[in-house]
Amino acid sequence: KRTNKTMKVFAHRGFSGRYPQNTMLAFRKALESGCDGIELDVQLTKDGEVVIIHDEYLDDLTDFTGNVRDYTLGDLKSCNAGGKWQEVYGFQPIPTFEEYCEWVSGNSLITNVEIKSSVYYYEELEKKTMELIERFGLKERIIISSFNHLSALSCKDFMPDIKTGALVENGGIANAGYYCKKFGFECYHPGVEGLTKEEIELCHKNGIEVNVWTINNMDDLENLYEWGCDSVITNYPDVCKSWLEAKKAKD
């Protein structure tokens, strides 16, 4: 029987299963959960600041209306990203990526930075994100990913040896290992639905790491462990981490 004692756990948008997604509260709680890394989403404000938020528009996740790109960072200071949790946790600001970098410099978490550049293409989002990674010396603990593969790969223009992942929806790309190797990705980031053991093996044969999202049930977690998946990205890092620790002790 195969075992996978090195499988890592990433908190999707921070510990988003129990705290407001992509906030410093969700990031701090992810660290406390004992996970290995955090996945987060970056976009640009009107005045070109890198901020952490998932949607391009503010209406569903915050008490503001309209697009992130139409507000300056100053305007967004009073925006509450507490979303559905605001009754419980009160006001939770949208973090800047700079604030996050400063915080993550003080611990050893890995960060999967997802560049949001396929709904709206922000000029200079890659450059500004990479400048912050450089300034805080975080390169060794970063994986850049994006559904816009050109955008992810273009980060290498600013930092040639940055690790990048080809992010794809459920269903994925068949022969993804070859695709990633050919275009210079180090990692493949597929949605879990439709992913097979064979596809993971093909990736590994091509030297490509496989980090899968979003793992919120035990069947997926167990399968991916058995299949040798490198990391799972989950809304519940506490559950995944506890299960993994128990499993590793038994195997």
Kindly state whether residue 58 participates in binding ligand G3P, applying the rule CB under 6 A. no
Q: What DSSP character marks residue 7?
A: -
State the minimum distance, in angstroms, from the CB of residue 127 to ligand G3P. Answer: 21
What is the rounded CA–CA span in Å between residue 91 and residue 191? Answer: 32
Asked whether position 126 contacts ligand G3P by CB under 6 A, the answer is no
Secondary structure class of 2 (helix, strand, coil): coil
Residues 155-184 as x/- pattern, contact with ligand G3P by CB under 6 A: ------------x-----------------
Q: Give the nearest distance from C-beta 130 to ligand G3P in angstroms.
A: 18
- Smaller CB separation from ligand G3P, 67 or 247: 67
Closest-CB residue for Ca ion?
114
The answer to whether 91 touches 78, Cβ cutoff 8 Å, is no
Say whether residue 35 binds ligand G3P (CB under 6 A).
no
**233 contributes a contact to ligand G3P by CB under 6 A:** yes
User: Binding string, 191-230, against ligand G3P, x = CB under 6 A?
Assistant: ----------------------x-----------------
Q: How far is CA 163 from the centre of its chain?
A: 13
Q: What share of the chain is helix, strand, coil (3-state, %, to 5)?
A: 35, 20, 45
- Determine the residue type at 71: Y
- C-alpha span between 95 and 89 (Å, rounded): 15
Residue 47 DSSP class: T
Could you list the active site residues?
Answer: 12, 54
